[in-house]
Homo-oligomer: A and B are copies of this chain.
Amino acid sequence: MASRAPTKHRRSNDPEGVRRRVVDAAYAAFSTQGYHATSVHDLKREAGATGGALAHHFATKKELGLAVIRDRVAAAVEETWIRPVLAASTASEGIQAVFAGIIAELEGQGAVSGCPLNNLAIELARHDDDFRVSIDTVFVRWREAIADKLKADLSAGAVFDLDPEAFAVLVVASYSGAMAMAKAQQSAEPLRVCAEQLARVMCKRSPAVGL
């Protein structure tokens, strides 16, 4: 960011527009570089916001961080994971489609920044309880959505012999951990392998096997 010309400050009658640009810039920076490694000064420049405009919306960097988790990270999990899984014909198909979509996206980008929620959990959850609770809330919603879909599959006879809540924890954990390894490898391969392993496990609990 240091080499870029500063965006011109815009005096604006659009406070919501300023807020949106600040939160967008903070989401991009916090989830790739990290919260601590991002300076508020750079965010102001990136969003073309004055110090006064930023302070009008966020009295502290922490308030901005909480807004990023609540308004952007939660929305990203909703859009990337929850909606596709709930819309799929089964949880298994939904999970496979989500992994495939994310793998394709990473391979298109040619770089792995990691899962925004996981990145912020690792960086922020241990030392600040407000961050911890806001991050955990997103994890809980993510796991519950997958568990709900699995419950529907169980009722419909699409899977059997599976604890929906516990299996949802395994899905989210293996995705998050595979993404950390993908970041260390700068390759989507660990995600591909985990998706295949989850598919095998779910396949063995599907009554359609062998038909």
- Chain A residues within CB distance 8 Å of chain B: 32-34, 36-37, 111-114, 118-119, 121-123, 125-127, 132, 135-136, 139, 165-167, 169-170, 172-181, 183-186, 190, 193-194, 196-198, 201, 204
Residues in B neighbouring A112, C-beta threshold 8 A: 126
Bound CA span A194–B168, Å: 10
Q: List 18 A-B contacts (CB under 8 A).
A: A33-B127, A34-B123, A36-B37, A112-B126, A113-B126, A118-B122, A118-B180, A122-B122, A125-B184, A136-B184, A136-B185, A166-B196, A172-B181, A173-B175, A173-B177, A173-B190, A176-B180, A177-B180
B residues within 8 A CB of A177? Answer: 118, 172-180
- Bound Cα distance A51, B149 (Å): 58
**Which chain B positions have C-beta within 8 A of A123?**
34, 122-123
Q: How far is the CA of A1 from the CA of B202 in the complex (A)?
A: 48
A121 and B181 contacting across the interface, CB-CB below 8 Å:
yes
Nearest Cβ on chain B to A38's Cβ, whole angstroms = 10
In angstroms, Cα B34 to Cα A80, docked, is 28
Whether A181 pairs with B186 at a CB distance below 8 angstroms is no
Task: Return chain B residues, CB-CB under 8 Å to A194.
Answer: 169-170, 173
- List B contacts of A127 (CB < 8 A): 33
Residues of chain B within 8 A (CB-CB) of A121 are 180-181, 183-184
Cα–Cα, bound, A132→B183 (Å): 8
| Complex: A146 Cα to B202 Cα, angstroms | 22
CA–CA, A183 and B197, complex, Å: 25
Q: How far is the CA of A175 from the CA of B34 in the complex (A)?
A: 23
What is the CB-to-nearest-CB distance from A112 to chain B, in angstroms, rounded to a whole number? 7
Chain B residues with CB below 8 A from A176, complex form = 173, 176-177, 180-181
A126 adjacent to B139 (CB under 8 Å): no
Pick from B111, B172, B181, B196: contact of A126, CB below 8 A. B111
